[in-house]
Structure 1
Amino acid sequence: MPEVRIKKRFSALAGAVLAAALVIAPLTAAGASAAAPVLGTVGTIEAATSDGNHESYWQARYASYNATCYKHSLTESTVHGAVTDGGKTVTLAPFQSSWPGNGWAALIVNSGTSNNVIVKPVAGIAYASPVNNGGQQATVSHWIVCKGTLPTPPSVVTPSLTFTPASCLAAGAIVFGQNVVWSSVKNADGTTTWTASPKAGTVFPANVTTSWTVPDLTKLSIDLEGCRPTQPSADESETVKTTFVCAPPLATITTTTTKTPYDVWDTTLHKWVAGTATSSDVVTTRPLTADEQATCEPEEPELPTTTVDTKPWVDGSWKCGDTTVLQTREVITTVTPTEGEPTVTKTSEQQTRKLTQSEIGTCPLVPGKILSACVGDVPYLSYSVDLPEGFVASSEKPVTITFVNGHGGEDYVVTGQPLSGKLLWPGASDAEPKMWPGWDLVDGQYVETSGNYAWTRLKDVVVKFRVNPEYETTVTYPEATAECANPALTSVTPDDPTDPTDPTGDPTDPSDPAPAPSVTPTPASASTDNTLAITGGTIQLGALGLGALAVLAGVGMTIVSVRRSRKA
């Protein structure tokens, strides 16, 4: 855009007028009684120089803003602004988007011998002309304004952090403020210190909080007193004993109440268990009934006494699969005559009681097909278990499967599994590059190692299936002749693996039949320990294992022996 420039002739005339004003001004100031107040805003006052009268000087000075400067006289009309307050101040116009840069970089108000220099002036504010040697505010001689590209100020961001503490039902959670860089340090007392740092292009306000110490947010243990479930009601039973006497005619009833509280918390079982039972007697008397008095003959000074002893209810035997138990109690009636031996009559009463979930939960899981199998060249564990009759699981995937490391190392545990399905053998991988337990891939070569769950290749690895009922069996890794037992002894390039041919069907699915094998699979040695761990019963799975082998195509399979455990 072309800028308004004063002609040289007019400049000379204005210079002469300004020189005359400078001569007269001290005389006028000397006659004044006091200096008048300065109008407008004062920046930095500098002595005027001949170089400072040219735009190029200020463009070089504010080159960091890529400044373009313009010089205007006292009376010049310009879109950049105007001389205001009767020639004592300069007020800039709003910066236009079509101009170069993005704002006003500098304003220099000259009064002859001095400059008022303002960096990043603001439109609409009156900026003062400097005071002359007589202490009076001089009239503006000329003013120079510079457009430029000003740095964008950083955004002000206030960091924040809030958290909800852990409870018995859930872990705690942290809510972090946005647009902030967070770092943390774990403290020895279990707390964590979180520190906020500003991102590039942002700053924090002064005196703002930037560090928070957060307690451990792990879900609280059920063993804590406040997290334990409600204490179960005490078991209560009572026996009643009635004694008759005819003189005086009185019946004495003794009621014995036995209470067994569940007031002991077991930190191993994580539940309430029975405490110490207590008994109390309540003795009451009543007159004999007419029938009872009829046994007291007047002519007989001494009558027989009858004592009725009612025993507590006793559970009968029950087996896994039952949902109720038959209870029996004995009633003993003793008639003691005045002479001779007493007569004792024993009768029994029966009732049916529903078994509790805790009682049904002592039964083992009911095993289906449980075997080790190859799908192509990948080893799997295939399984199927059923819940005891009447037992209700807490979810659709309640099973926890544990490969028990019998050599002192850490077990391999998989949670949240369905009642039937398959899972990769520990240490195995069905993704490229494929992997097998006891093997590692080093520089493109498979090498044997004692790590990567090599212990699961040993004979008769114990595998536990647990919901609340528990079932335990042993499985054996496929023999070395099986297709999936070991990697091929060739170099493997992870980016271009050899893709084995998948067999028809899924041999690891207990419900998925497969065609007859083209190569007879080799079963591993079956465990000879088929006994139930606690109850002592025996389950024969030979027919099941051999039958499964007969229908698996191209699959190495292992017959398993089963041990079932029932915990009281």
Structure 2
Amino acid sequence: MRKSALLAFAVAAMLCLAPSAAHAAAPASIDSTETDVTDGYTPNEPDEPTLAGSTAVGECERDVPWISYAVELTDPDQQATGNTARLVITDGTNTATLVLGDLVDGKLSGRILWPGASVDGAGNATGWPGWAFVDGTWVETDGNYRWTRGNISAKITVNPEVAVPLSYPPATPVCAAAPETPMLSPDSPEPTVAGFLPATGLGASLLPIALVGGLLAAIGLIVVAARRRHRANG
């Protein structure tokens, strides 16, 4: 009788402890799952540095060809390996590298003379790419960065780098971007201007309009004078 009572008590105790043991084992299963998730986690790749938005533009001012530039480096994860900005110009055969300067807080802007151009102390133009002053006359030459006035490509480099559209600034009625001195054409003994009129004068395409306008003005003056003379005689 006593043995039966002890046996029944042991069985009851085991039944009471079994749920607690199963409950205690549950966290171990959750920890195992969390470990598997952690082991499979891949960190985000660092963002690559970029010069997107940087520009370089050819401009003419007071007959001087300039390159105006604005450089902006975006580098959130500090991946860039340089800090000095350069402008690289090429036509596929020739290459010119212009040092623009060091970035400050990832930015740099300003302007630099076009390769082959020069100015005096007052900022007046004294040289242009593809031109040479020979025996008192400006003549075109294949040297002095003449190739930069043709089909070129350009890029700004800091490491990273970015391509930028760039071309030699064209002449306008207010800016020559080349010497204005008249030269003798091989086909004519008369002095001619190398493709343009002086920067302060009229463009070649506007000259006929100006002549017609002057002729009409002169005719108008003659008509007015004739009417006044007719009234005076009447």
> What is the TM-score with the length of structure 1 in the denominator?
0.23
Amino acid at match of 2:58: S
DSSP 3-state at the match of 1:411? strand
Quote the offset at 1:384 in angstroms. Answer: 1.1
| Residues 394, 480 of structure 1: alpha-carbon distance in 2 compared, 3 angstrom cutoff | same
Q: Which runs of 5+ in 1 are unaligned?
A: 1-288, 296-305, 316-324, 326-354, 492-499, 502-518, 520-568
DSSP 3-state at the match of 2:126? coil
Amino acid at match of 1:385: V
Quote the offset at 1:481 in angstroms. Answer: 3.9
The answer on whether the counterparts of 2:57 and 2:165 sit within 8 Å (CA) in structure 1 is no
The answer on whether the counterparts of 1:381 and 1:425 sit within 8 Å (CA) in structure 2 is yes
Q: Which of 87, 93, 104 is residue 408 of structure 1 equivalent to?
A: 93
DSSP 3-state at the match of 1:485? coil
> How is 1:471-510 mapped onto 2 (pairs within 5 angstroms)?
471-481=162-172, 483-490=175-182
Quote the offset at 1:444 in angstroms. Answer: 1.7
1:456 matches 2:148 = yes
What is the identity percentage for the equivalent residue pairs of Structure 1 and Structure 2?
A: 35
Amino acid at match of 2:53: P
1:291 matches 2:19 = no
Quote the offset at 1:416 in angstroms. Answer: 2.8
Supply the distance in 2 between the matched residues of 1:399 and 1:293 (Cα, whole angstroms): 58
State the match for 1:443 in structure 2. Answer: 135
The answer on whether the counterparts of 1:368 and 1:386 sit within 8 Å (CA) in structure 2 is yes
> How is 1:358-397 mapped onto 2 (pairs within 5 angstroms)?
359-360=46-47, 362-367=48-53, 370-388=56-74, 390=76
DSSP 3-state at the match of 2:118? coil
> What is the TM-score with the length of structure 2 in the denominator?
0.52
Supply the distance in 2 between the matched residues of 1:386 and 1:429 (Cα, whole angstroms): 27
Q: Which of 41, 65, 69 is residue 313 of structure 1 equivalent to?
A: 41
| Residues 294, 401 of structure 1: alpha-carbon distance in 2 compared, 3 angstrom cutoff | closer
The answer on whether the counterparts of 2:100 and 2:112 sit within 8 Å (CA) in structure 1 is no
Supply the distance in 1 between the matched residues of 2:96 and 2:171 (Cα, whole angstroms): 24
Deviation string for 1:242-273 (max 9, x for gaps)? xxxxxxxxxxxxxxxxxxxxxxxxxxxxxxxx
Quote the offset at 1:426 in angstroms. Answer: 0.6
Supply the distance in 2 between the matched residues of 1:383 and 1:439 (Cα, whole angstroms): 25
1:425 matches 2:114 = yes
How many residue pairs were aligned? 152
Computing the radius of gyration over CA atoms, which structure comes out larger, 1 or 2?
Answer: 1
Query: Bigger relative contact order, structure 1 or 2, given CA contacts below 8 A and separation 6+?
Result: 2
Supply the distance in 2 between the matched residues of 1:464 and 1:385 (Cα, whole angstroms): 11
DSSP 3-state at the match of 2:50? coil
Between structures 1 and 2, the one with greater strand share: 1
The answer on whether the counterparts of 2:117 and 2:129 sit within 8 Å (CA) in structure 1 is yes
Quote the offset at 1:435 in angstroms. Answer: 0.9
> How is 1:28-43 mapped onto 2 (pairs within 5 angstroms)?
none
Supply the distance in 1 between the matched residues of 2:93 and 2:155 (Cα, whole angstroms): 17
The answer on whether the counterparts of 1:412 and 1:426 sit within 8 Å (CA) in structure 2 is no
> How is 1:181-220 mapped onto 2 (pairs within 5 angstroms)?
none
> How is 1:283-362 mapped onto 2 (pairs within 5 angstroms)?
290-291=24-25, 309-310=36-37, 311-315=39-43, 325=44, 359-360=46-47, 362=48
Amino acid at match of 1:427: G
Cα RMSD over matched residues?
3.9
The answer on whether the counterparts of 2:86 and 2:97 sit within 8 Å (CA) in structure 1 is no
> How is 1:226-237 mapped onto 2 (pairs within 5 angstroms)?
none
Supply the distance in 2 between the matched residues of 1:449 and 1:412 (Cα, whole angstroms): 21
Amino acid at match of 1:312: G
Supply the distance in 1 between the matched residues of 2:28 and 2:40 (Cα, whole angstroms): 30
Supply the distance in 1 between the matched residues of 2:28 and 2:42 (Cα, whole angstroms): 35
1:399 matches 2:88 = no
Supply the distance in 1 between the matched residues of 2:27 and 2:59 (Cα, whole angstroms): 81
Supply the distance in 2 between the matched residues of 1:407 and 1:314 (Cα, whole angstroms): 43
Quote the offset at 1:375 in angstroms. Answer: 1.8
The answer on whether the counterparts of 1:400 and 1:417 sit within 8 Å (CA) in structure 2 is no
> How is 1:168-179 mapped onto 2 (pairs within 5 angstroms)?
none
Quote the offset at 1:379 in angstroms. Answer: 0.4
Amino acid at match of 2:154: V
> How is 1:502-541 mapped onto 2 (pairs within 5 angstroms)?
none
> How is 1:50-199 mapped onto 2 (pairs within 5 angstroms)?
none
DSSP 3-state at the match of 1:456? helix
The answer on whether the counterparts of 2:55 and 2:69 sit within 8 Å (CA) in structure 1 is yes
Amino acid at match of 1:465: I
